[in-house]
Amino acid sequence: MKLSKGLITLLVLLAVVFFIFIWAKGAYNSMVSQDEQVTSAWSQVENVYQRRSDLIPNLVATVKGYAAHERETLEGVINARAKATQTTIDPTNMTAESLKQYQAAQGELSSALGRLMVVVERYPDLKANQNFLELQAQLEGTENRITVERQKFNDTARSYNTYIRQFPRNMLAGIFGFDKKAYFEAQAGAENAPKVEF
């Protein structure tokens, strides 16, 4: 049985459309999966920042008992914590600007905690307090977790960004609104080593 040229052309066209559909479906589903991985990684970042934020009231209360006249430093930590917890990001609409604002608020809290630790050095009884030592160890562990989770987030975002920017997936990403995700970046001045003077 002979097939007409029109039928052969139609079958070839249907086969091409079918393969394009299969490819587009696979690429779209991969983009959705990677976008969800970025959202999950962001949730872990927020989780460890929340853990740090939850430790601060106990730390401030412990220090307050020993260093009540360090009111300005303690209030600075409390205010920085409040600002950091109020700054949030929607992971589905993450921009470089929103991530910088979030990072700035968390950086202010880190600076306030650093000033608090300097104050602690003036109080040997506080440094020997078991409750304070446990809180300090938990805070140090949380800071390490923050670093790890930020790195995981950056790795996940990089993988996603690479995937959606490769041709021809970039056209599909543009059609369906998959946008590039922002990264955590080093704080300004982090490239300079601190000066130590004795």
List, for residues 15-66, the tens digit of each pLDDT value: 999 999 999 999 999 999 999 999 999 999 999 999 999 998 988 888 887 7
Residues 6 or more apart whose Cβ sits within 8 Å of residue 150: 45, 184
Is residue 190 pLDDT above 90, yes or no? no
pLDDT for the residue 131: 84
pLDDT for the residue 1: 56
pLDDT for the residue 198: 29
Across 104-124, average pLDDT: 87
Mean pLDDT of the residues in the chain: 86
Q: Residue 173 CB: number of other CB atoms within 10 A? A: 22
pLDDT for the residue 21: 94
List, for residues 70-80, the tens digit of each pLDDT value: 778 888 898 99
pLDDT for the residue 191: 46
Across 119-133, average pLDDT: 82
User: Quick one: CA dihedral 67, 71, 72, 75, positive or negative?
Assistant: positive
Contact (Cβ atoms closer than 8 angstroms) between residue 117 and residue 74: no
pLDDT-derived band at 177 (thresholds 50, 70, 90) equals very high
Across 118-145, average pLDDT: 86
By percentage, how much of the chain surpasses pLDDT 90?
A: 49
pLDDT-derived band at 123 (thresholds 50, 70, 90) equals confident
pLDDT for the residue 194: 43
List, for residues 136-168, the tens digit of each pLDDT value: 889 899 999 999 999 999 999 999 999 999 999
Write out the chain in H/E/C secondary structure. Answer: CCCCHHHHHHHHHHHHHHHHHHHHHHHHHHHHHHHHHHHHHHHHHHHHHHHHHHHHHHHHHHHHHHCCCCHHHHHHHHHHHHHHHHCCCCHHHCCHHHHHHHHHHHHHHHHHHHHHHHHHCCCHHHHHCHHHHHHHHHHHHHHHHHHHHHHHHHHHHHHHHHHHHCCCHHHHHHHHCCCCCCCCCCCCCCCCCCCCCC
